[in-house]
Amino acid sequence: MSQTKTELLQGNLYINGEWVSEEEQTYFESINPATQELVGTCAAATASQVDAAVNAASTAYSHWKNTSIPERAAFLTKAASLFEDKKEELAQVMTKEMGKPLTESIGEVGVVIATAQYMAGEGRRLFGEIVPAGFPDRDIKMVREPLGVVACITPWNFPVSLASYKMFAALIAGNTVVWKPASEVALSAKIFMEILHAAGLPKGTINLLTGSGRIVGQRLATHSEVKVISFTGSTEVGQQLAEMSSKTLKRISLELGGKNAVIVLKDADLDKAAEGIVKSAFTTTGQRCTAASRVIVDRSVKEELLKKVIALTEEMKVGNGLEQGVVIGPLVNEQQCRLVEDYVQKAVEEGGNIALGGRALSEIGACYYMPTIIDNVHSNHTIAQEEIFGPVLAFIEVNGYEEAMRVNNGTMYGLSTSIYTSSLHYASRAAKDAVSGLVYINNGTSNAEMGVAFGGMKMSGNGHREVSHHAFDVMTEWKSVYTNY
Ligand code: NAP
């Protein structure tokens, strides 16, 4: 299908309240993984443009931190209503850039709206503490203070909601922001920023830098004026950022990869378990940090569960996310598709049996892979240990709860664990025994509600949490004030 030039989008950098580009600006392409068509081009920020954005945010900070909380909240409330108006337009670009079905993209913009409303309300609850003094005629209070410039670095799988978690918490607390989105979704970021601009954001309060993670990300991580790094992405890049930012003693919040499991005990409702498994494993084409990539199932019910999971998976339509009825889109790019192929091949070499799928769908496009289920996987196989980020599910058989939980906890990650059981005893034990930031009982692995802390343990994060008011443990610091009267 040919495309006219006018349909193409172009993204520039947003610095100090203006869309900017240099004469010699380099642009990179955003490609639709469903069709391989060009969605548009986006500016690749240089190191000096990173400095300009940080300077703008730093200057804006002196005003924004003294802006009253109701005024900051009013901006978020206005943004929420504009996101509502532009929901479909933004969602279309998200689906074109990273492939997920339009219904999922629309749902994600809904999360942005809910986050803006939630954080607008949380501003009024940035409570401090009154501490009993050890001496007469003295008051002591502790107050939360913003830190300054917060750099938000985000991945492509949730192009806008993860950015909203970080940026809206940072802003309501009085910080200013420099945002570096993933290159695959740079144009979705541009539309997102246009909406924030229209909401009347004071200049410099938020700045958008698209471009290479290595150039922009590294500069942000080493810049002395950046006080916080809030990163969501791979464990490998998170580790690099932690190392780079240590020289300037930045606070760093890391939300990283996962190797999430659904445990199914023999007393589980297998229909409900199959439903939860399929949804968690294959929506967003398995490209979620909380995607279920392991089913740890009691040997006595394995065959029955496997049949049910296969039957439900076969009903899922694979195709272009803009088409009605499609529930599994393409992978984000060809490289990711090849990576999935390699993992499946390795799984077979190590003794796994392909129970469903197991091949690329090159007849419909370069980035499509069949939803794949691999049986006979052992907990030490590569496919049971490493994050794949694709539509691949491994079945691991166990004997009873103890072995199931041992296998569940036997990876370097600790993001999300689900258990299906009708036993109160095992459900309650799982809530305690799972070494993961999220535990779901009789629900799949992917479900985040507003106001509930989100984050992982072990190599899935560094202990910080987003979404709820606990985000302020990252976005503020405590000041203790002694008053003698
Ligand atoms: P990624 O490769 O780590 O990239 C994430 C962000 O970091 C992008 O903006 C990227 O920019 C930037 N970046 C890349 N290399 C960098 C470097 N050397 N220095 C500084 N920044 C750098 O991750 P991804 O492929 O976008 O996303 C998938 C990963 O994110 C998975 O591991 C998934 O589990 C994780 N994730 C975690 C959560 C969670 O909440 N725990 C949520 C969603 C996703 P470029 O795009 O320009 O390279």
- Paired tokens of 225: 């004026």
156 Cα to the center of ligand 1, angstroms: 7
Q: Residue 301 has what pLDDT?
A: 98
Looking at every residue in the chain, the average pLDDT score rounds to: 97
Nearest residue (by CA) to ligand 1, atom 18, is 214
Give the number of the atom of ligand 1 that is nearest the alpha carbon of residue 180: 9
Q: Report the alpha-carbon distance of residue 394 to residue 376 in Å, rounded.
A: 8
Pocket test for ligand 1, best of 27, 97, 222, 232 (most atoms within 8 A of CB): 232
Q: Residue 190 has what pLDDT?
A: 98
Tens of pLDDT, residue by residue over 335-378, are 999 999 999 999 999 999 999 999 999 999 999 999 999 999 99
Ligand 1 binding residues, C-beta < 6 A: 153-158, 162, 180-183, 212-214, 217-218, 232-234, 237, 240-241, 255-258, 289, 387, 389, 415, 456, 460
Q: Residue 441 has what pLDDT?
A: 98
Q: Report the alpha-carbon distance of residue 390 to residue 236 in Å, rounded.
A: 18
> What mean pLDDT do residues 145-152 have?
98
Nearest residue (by CA) to ligand 1, atom 16, is 213
Tens of pLDDT, residue by residue over 17-28, are 999 999 999 999
Per-residue pLDDT at 186 exceeds 70:
yes
Nearest to 119 by CA among 454, 485, 468: 468
Q: What one-character DSSP code corresponds to residue 240?
A: H
Tens of pLDDT, residue by residue over 402-458, are 999 999 999 999 999 999 999 999 999 999 999 999 999 999 999 889 999 999 999
Per-residue pLDDT at 249 exceeds 80:
yes
DSSP strands (E only) in 349-408 = 353-356, 372-375, 392-398
Nearest residue (by CA) to ligand 1, atom 26, is 155
- Paired tokens of 461: 């994060």
334 Cα to the center of ligand 1, angstroms: 17
Give the number of the atom of ligand 1 that is nearest the alpha carbon of residue 236: 3
Q: pTM of the predicted model, to two decimals?
A: 0.97
Q: Residue 447 has what pLDDT?
A: 86
Q: How confident is the model at residue 297 (pLDDT cuts 50, 70, 90)?
A: very high
Q: Residue 44 has what pLDDT?
A: 98
Per-residue pLDDT at 143 exceeds 70:
yes
CB atoms within 10 A of CB 135: 8
Nearest residue (by CA) to ligand 1, atom 38, is 289
Q: Report the alpha-carbon distance of residue 336 to residue 330 in Å, rounded.
A: 10
Per-residue pLDDT at 5 exceeds 70:
no
270 Cα to the center of ligand 1, angstroms: 35
237 Cα to the center of ligand 1, angstroms: 7
23 Cα to the center of ligand 1, angstroms: 29
154 Cα to the center of ligand 1, angstroms: 6
- At 232, give phi and psi (nearest 5°): -125, 130
Q: Which H or E run contains 106? A: helix 102-122
Q: Residue 6 has what pLDDT?
A: 47
Give the number of the atom of ligand 1 that is nearest the alpha carbon of residue 238: 3
Q: Residue 84 has what pLDDT?
A: 98
Q: Residue 176 has what pLDDT?
A: 98
What SS3 state is found at 83?
helix
Per-residue pLDDT at 118 exceeds 60:
yes
Q: Residue 410 has what pLDDT?
A: 98
Q: How confident is the model at residue 463 (pLDDT cuts 50, 70, 90)?
A: very high
232 Cα to the center of ligand 1, angstroms: 6
Catalytic (active-site) positions? 255, 289
Nearest residue (by CA) to ligand 1, atom 35, is 233
> What mean pLDDT do residues 81-106 have?
98
Residue 380: partners with Cβ closer than 8 Å, 6 or more residues away: none
Residue 125: partners with Cβ closer than 8 Å, 6 or more residues away: 469
> What mean pLDDT do residues 264-270 have?
98
Q: Residue 7 has what pLDDT?
A: 79
CB atoms within 10 A of CB 263: 26
> What mean pLDDT do residues 33-58 have?
98
Pocket test for ligand 1, best of 289, 340, 416, 460 (most atoms within 8 A of CB): 289
Report the share of the chain in percent with pLDDT over 70: 99
Nearest residue (by CA) to ligand 1, atom 39, is 255
Q: Residue 3 has what pLDDT?
A: 47
> What mean pLDDT do residues 67-82 have?
98
Nearest residue (by CA) to ligand 1, atom 22, is 213
- At 348, give phi and psi (nearest 5°): -70, -45
Per-residue pLDDT at 1 exceeds 80:
no
Per-residue pLDDT at 173 exceeds 60:
yes
Pocket test for ligand 1, best of 153, 237, 290, 462 (most atoms within 8 A of CB): 237
